[in-house]
Structure 1
Amino acid sequence: MTSISSARASTILMVDDHELVRLGVRALLNSQASPSGSALNVLEAGSLCEALALYERHKDAIDLVLLDLALPDTRGLNGLTTLRERHPDARIVVISGIGTSGLAQDWLAQAVLAAGADAFLPKTASLREVVSLVRACGLPDGAVGHLPLPSNEPPHADRSLPERVSETLSPRHLSVFQLILEGKNNREIAEALHLSEGTVKNYVSTILLRLEVRSRAQLISSLR
Structure 2
Amino acid sequence: MIRILLVEDQSIVRQGLKMIIEQDQQLKVVGEAENGLEAIKRLEHQHVDIILMDIRMPIMNGIEATHKIKQRWPFMKILILTTFNDEEYAINTLKEGASGFLLKTSDGPKLIHSIKSCLDGGIAIHDQVAAKVMPKLLDKPIEKEKSTSIPLTPREITITRLIGQGKTNKEISSELFLSIGTVKNHITQILLKLELRDRTQLAIFAVKNDLY
Q: Offset at 1:74?
A: 2.4
1:57, distance to aligned residue in structure 2 (A) = 0.3
Long gaps (5+) in structure 2? 121-126, 132-144, 148-160, 178-212
Tell me if structure 1 keeps the 8 A contact 2:82–2:90.
Answer: no
* Mapped partners of 1:24, 1:188: distance in 2: 47
Distance (Å, rounded) in 2 between the aligned partners of 1:12 and 1:75? 19
Q: How many residues align?
A: 147
Counterpart check, 1:204 vs 2:165: yes
Quick one: distance in 1 between partners of 2:91 and 2:65? Answer: 16
Q: Quote the residue 1:23 is aligned against.
A: 15
Any gaps of 5 or more consecutive residues in structure 1? 1-8, 140-168, 174-186, 190-199
Shift of 1:215: 5.3
Tell me: CA distance 1:18–1:77, structure 2 relative to 1, closer, same or farther (3 Å): same
Q: Give 1:50 shift.
A: 1.3
How many Å separate the matches in 1 of 2:110 and 2:169?
Answer: 14
Cα offsets for 1:64-108 (capped at 9, x unmatched):
011111111125722221222222221111112252xxxx74x55
Counterpart amino acid of 1:119?
G
TM-score by length of 1: 0.53
Conserved in 2, the CA contact under 8 Å of 1:109 and 1:202? no
Mapping of residues 38-77 of structure 1, within 5 Å = 40-58=28-46, 61-75=47-61, 77=63
1:127 paired residue among 95, 108, 111: 108
Task: Report SS of the residue matched to 2:50.
Answer: strand
Listed as ranges, the matches of 1:5-154 within 5 Å are 9-34=1-26, 40-58=28-46, 61-75=47-61, 77-97=63-83, 99=85, 105=87, 108-138=89-119
Q: How does 1:166-185 map to 2 (within 5 A)?
A: none
CA contact (8 A) 1:13 1:42 kept: yes
Shift of 1:110: 3.6
Identity of aligned residues (%): 21
Measured on the aligned residues, the alpha-carbon RMSD in Å equals: 3.8
Larger helix proportion of the pair: 2
TM-score (structure 2 length as normaliser): 0.56
Q: Report the alpha carbon displacement of residue 11 of structure 1 after superposing the two structures with TM.
A: 1.0
